[in-house]
Amino acid sequence: MIYSVALDGPGGAGKSSIAKQVAKSKGIVYVDTGAMYRAIALYMLKHNIDIHDHEAVVQRLNDVKISLEYRDGTQCVILGGEDVSTAIRENPVSMAASVTSAYKEVRAFLMDTQRNVAKTTSVIMDGRDIGTVVLPDAQVKIFLSADPVVRAQRRHKELLEKGQTVDFDTVLADIQQRDWQDTNRTEAPLRQAEDAVLLDTSYLTFDQSVQAVLTLIDEKVGK
């Protein structure tokens, strides 16, 4: 049986690392929709398009060639033939993606790609609007959240481990700004679907969070 798991929630709640592990355990495909929004933002930044200029962004959309490739079960994002999986994680790209993803045309541009993957194979798809808009009929819907301070602490630690020096207050402010933008936009804002289960990971370890998601999947679709 083909099934879909919609995993939504704010940035830094642990969606992607949890989804990757769950996908591995269940032998299903992990689709990181945030990476697609990030690739669009990266394209605009690379081509010096003002990301706040809605019209200018929309005009260039059809030049953006994004594809997803899976290597050893890991999703790689290819932009115009170049693997940008690492570049899209930079902070300026995160902030820009939160701006350009608010544009209706940007969302429509990615919708079919996202829906099509889920038609042919079982997926765990993470994002902001998967349970509400992209896959409203997903068999499992989870809204993953965590206290903003806890999310900022995790992100800060991650950046330090990568050798990037950023102060904690900046990381927290960026998280709060993205939360605000993602939640208050008109198009497909970040919100919990009515039939989604809320999973707060503030006080859960990574393994406990993975286990909680696996249990929810087993309950809904069987082992």
**Nearest distance from C-beta of residue 155 to ligand DC, angstroms:** 10
Residue whose CB is less far from ligand DC, 33 or 75: 33
**Nearest distance from C-beta of residue 75 to ligand DC, angstroms:** 12
Coil, strand or helix at 138:
coil
Which listed residue (85, 98, 132, 201) binds ligand DC by CB under 6 A?
98
- DSSP label of 196: P
Site string for ligand DC, 160-179 (x = CB under 6 A): ------------------x-
**Nearest distance from C-beta of residue 104 to ligand DC, angstroms:** 11
- Contact call for residue 11 and ligand DC (CB under 6 A): yes
Alpha-carbon span 83 to 76, nearest angstrom: 7
Are 54 and 103 in contact by the 8 Å Cβ rule? The answer is: yes
Coil, strand or helix at 9:
coil
Residue whose CB is less far from ligand DC, 26 or 178: 178
Residue whose CB is less far from ligand DC, 21 or 94: 94
Q: Which pair of tokens denotes residue 221?
A: 């679709």
Size of the site for ligand DC (CB under 6 A): 15
Of 119, 144, 126, residue with least CA distance to 196: 144
Residue whose CB is less far from ligand DC, 70 or 218: 70
Number of other CB atoms surrounding residue 28 within 10 Å: 20
**Nearest distance from C-beta of residue 152 to ligand DC, angstroms:** 13
Backbone angles phi, psi at 33, to 5 degrees: -70, -30
Number of other CB atoms surrounding residue 2 within 10 Å: 11
Binding residues among 24-83 for ligand DC as defined by CB under 6 A: 33-34, 37-38
Cα–Cα distances (Å) from 171 to 13, 151, 157, 160, 166, in that order, read 14, 9, 10, 11, 7
Site string for ligand DC, 117-146 (x = CB under 6 A): ----------xxxx----------------
Binding site for ligand DC (CB under 6 A): 11, 33-34, 37-38, 94, 97-98, 101, 127-130, 178, 182
